[in-house]
């Protein structure tokens, strides 16, 4: 959506009026009062300029609510459509949807056929819980959108996909589709939206209707197949897709069918479908890419290399080819080759990931300072990717026993971006490892307070409380909350078992630690389960578990501590 054109017509009056205010010493008094000027002081465009000025001052202070209110007052006082647009945009961004709706209606009234105003009102109707009221705006956008009917419907689907309320977005689309019930593309668009919003029952019904209306339209059949699979009817969905693809020579249909097969574990049939497609079109970039990904998922890197190399030879999707050739090289242990491939990626969606991998590979090649410098520079040049770079840089610093530098890196990053949750989480874990438990807990409490639904943070907080303090009841409460959110997560099951062990609830502890041990191969879990078994008398199995885990990882603190305490020190086979 585009709601951001700069307001022009009142700008000159704006400057004159603001100059007058400053000259008379009134600006500070007026700013932030939220009141209109005295009766008769200004009228019309002058009043609009006054409210606009106050709104801009509020924006400079970061007070978006006041800005929304003042701009709405300005829009009421002026016939300027661009001022109404500015008012609607500011209020929409501030989440002040009442003011946004008022201003957007003024905007539309003053410009008539304005698709941007209709798009904003469509969104506001949905967000204000009145999805049926979005219907006239949807109909306008449909009839005045792209000439291609499919494109027009899919554009509306994308607009509604952005709306946070799945139920209201679907209600709005269903109201529109009811008026165009004889159009297969209408039901197709509804099915696509329903799939995005996880409303699988709605998706199945809509896709089935689309296919009934257009039985020879393969996209409707493939949409039905996807909906059935999402609804848990995997075999039926694959069968539907197969019935669409059989006898259909359209390359895109075959490509989509192959992707659906691969996504649902039918790798042999997917491989055969792609092979037939590539026999027909050896240089088809999307087919080569799909074939390469399929072989990667099947753990066949050499076969994947053939397809990605051929893709590179077509001159298309070059960043994709280079990135996955780098992945292949890494899987095959060709570190230098992988590094050279990643270095050739200069732009595109894989560029950030390639830069992270470059830092990792430089470190593996022994160029540790170059790796750290590369990651540090990348984080500074591309702030939107800084968290990933900082996390790897910090991990590498810890690996080289430079914990204080890692801690400084995390702290500097958090001072610049306090909302970097993954960095705060990493700092908490590092502080705990450095035996700075109170500081670690402070970070973990901050994570939980800012997002009480974060299961990983709840688990980490509960585990540190259980493992490093005597606050066991408090620890149990946090871990149980984590378990509600992540019931099958191995790390959470381990924490739950460990806190019950600490509380003396050995039966519950055994239950959860056995579940964790079955789910994840982790030395920490092995340490905990072994300790429980030893304490409850099964010393033979405890020893076996510890020694097996130590063969895979001889540097884990918890594991080595358990071995030292119960077996009298490091034990060789």
Mind listing the pLDDT tens digit for each residue in 516-536?
A: 999 999 999 999 999 999 999
The whole-angstrom separation of Cα 235 and Cα 355 is 41
Q: Does residue 125 lie in a domain region?
A: no
Q: Does residue 53 lie in a domain region?
A: yes
Q: What is the pLDDT of residue 48?
A: 83
Q: Does residue 434 lie in a domain region?
A: no
Q: With contact defined as beta carbons under 8 Å apart, do 92 and 100 qualify?
A: yes
Mind listing the pLDDT tens digit for each residue in 281-333?
A: 999 999 999 999 999 999 999 999 999 999 999 999 999 999 999 999 999 99
Q: With contact defined as beta carbons under 8 Å apart, do 296 and 324 qualify?
A: yes
Q: Does residue 188 lie in a domain region?
A: no
Range of lowest pLDDT (66-70, 130-134, 437-441, 510-514): 66-70
Q: With contact defined as beta carbons under 8 Å apart, do 173 and 189 qualify?
A: yes
The whole model's pTM is what? 0.70
Q: What is the pLDDT of residue 338?
A: 97
Query: Span 13-35, mean pLDDT?
Result: 41
**Model confidence at 569, in pLDDT bands (50, 70, 90)?**
low
User: Which token pair is 236?
Assistant: 């039926």
Q: Does residue 382 lie in a domain region?
A: no
Helix-, strand-, coil-residue percentages of the chain, each rounded to 5: 75, 0, 25
Q: Does residue 68 lie in a domain region?
A: yes
Query: Span 146-157, mean pLDDT?
Result: 94
Which domain does 91 fall in, by range? 1-112
Q: Which long-range contacts (CB under 8 A, 24 or more apart) does 365-373 make?
A: 365/335, 365/336, 365/339, 368/396, 368/400, 371/396, 372/396, 372/397
Q: What is the pLDDT of residue 49?
A: 85
Q: Does residue 354 lie in a domain region?
A: no
CB-based contacts of 546: which residues, under 8 Å, 6+ apart? 526, 527, 530, 559, 562, 563, 567, 571
Q: Is the pLDDT of residue 1 over 90?
A: no
The whole-angstrom separation of Cα 341 and Cα 323 is 7
Is 32 or 100 the better-scoring residue by pLDDT?
A: 100
**Model confidence at 348, in pLDDT bands (50, 70, 90)?**
confident
Mind listing the pLDDT tens digit for each residue in 233-288?
A: 999 999 999 999 998 989 999 999 999 999 998 999 999 999 999 999 999 999 99
Q: Does residue 432 lie in a domain region?
A: no
Domain count, the chain: 1
Mind listing the pLDDT tens digit for each residue in 380-427?
A: 888 888 888 999 999 999 988 899 999 999 999 999 889 999 999 999
The whole-angstrom separation of Cα 13 and Cα 7 is 12
The whole-angstrom separation of Cα 51 and Cα 66 is 10
């Amino acid at each position: 959506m585009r709601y951001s054109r700069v307001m022009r017509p009142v700008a000159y009056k704006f400057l004159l009026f603001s100059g007058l205010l400053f000259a008379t010493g009134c600006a500070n008094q007026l700013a932030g009062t939220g009141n209109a000027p005295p009766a008769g002081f200004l009228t019309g465009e002058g009043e609009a300029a006054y409210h606009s000025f106050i709104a801009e001052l509020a924006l400079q202070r970061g007070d978006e609510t006041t800005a929304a209110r003042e701009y709405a007052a300005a829009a009421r006082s002026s016939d300027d459509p661009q001022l109404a647009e500015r008012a609607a945009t500011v209020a929409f961004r501030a989440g002040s949807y009442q003011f946004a709706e008022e201003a957007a209606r003024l905007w539309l009234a003053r410009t008539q056929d304005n698709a941007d105003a209709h798009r904003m009102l469509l969104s506001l109707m949905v967000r204000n819980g009145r999805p049926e009221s979005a219907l006239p705006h949807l109909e306008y956008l449909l009839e005045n959108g792209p000439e291609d009917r499919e494109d027009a419907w899919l554009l509306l689907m994308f607009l509604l996909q952005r709306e946070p309320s799945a139920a209201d977005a679907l209600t709005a689309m269903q109201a529109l589709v009811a008026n165009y019930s004889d159009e297969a593309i209408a039901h197709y668009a509804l099915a696509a939206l329903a799939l995005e919003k996880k409303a699988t029952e709605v998706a199945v019904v809509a896709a089935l209707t689309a296919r009934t209306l257009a039985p020879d339209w393969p996209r409707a059949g493939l949409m039905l197949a996807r909906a059935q699979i999402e609804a848990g009817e995997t075999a039926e969905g694959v069968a539907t897709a197969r019935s669409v693809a059989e006898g259909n020579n359209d390359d895109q249909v075959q490509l989509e069918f192959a992707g659906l097969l691969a996504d649902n574990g039918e790798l042999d049939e997917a491989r055969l479908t792609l092979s037939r497609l590539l026999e027909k079109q050896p240089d088809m970039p999307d087919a080569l890419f799909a074939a390469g990904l399929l072989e990667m998922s099947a753990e066949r890197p050499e076969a994947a290399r053939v397809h990605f190399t051929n893709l590179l030879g077509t001159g298309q999707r070059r960043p994709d080819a280079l990135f996955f050739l780098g992945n292949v090289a890494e899987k095959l242990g060709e570190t230098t080759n992988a590094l050279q491939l990643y270095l050739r990626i200069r732009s595109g969606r894989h560029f950030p990931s390639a830069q992270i991998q470059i830092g990792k590979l430089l470190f593996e090649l022994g160029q540790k300072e170059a790796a750290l410098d590369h990651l540090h520079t990348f984080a500074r040049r591309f702030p939107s990717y800084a968290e990933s770079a900082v996390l790897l840089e910090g991990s590498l610093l810890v690996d080289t026993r430079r914990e204080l530098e890692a801690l400084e890196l995390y702290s500097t990053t958090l001072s610049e971006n306090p909302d970097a949750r993954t960095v705060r989480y990493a700092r908490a874990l590092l502080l705990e490892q450095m035996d700075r438990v109170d500081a670690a807990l402070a970070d973990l409490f901050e994570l939980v307070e800012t997002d009480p639904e974060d299961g990983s943070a709840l688990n980490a907080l509960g585990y540190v409380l259980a493992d490093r303090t005597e606050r066991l009841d408090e620890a149990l409460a946090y871990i149980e909350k984590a378990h509600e959110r992540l019931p099958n997560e191995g790390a959470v099951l381990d924490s739950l078992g460990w806190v019950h062990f600490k509380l003396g609830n050995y039966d519950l502890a055994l239950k959860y630690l056995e579940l964790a041990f079955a789910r994840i191969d982790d030395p920490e879990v092995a340490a905990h389960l072994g300790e429980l078994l030893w304490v409850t008398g099964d010393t033979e199995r405890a020893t076996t578990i510890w020694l097996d885990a130590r063969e895979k990882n001889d540097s884990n603190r918890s594991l080595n501590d358990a071995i030292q305490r119960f077996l009298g020190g490091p034990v060789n086979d």
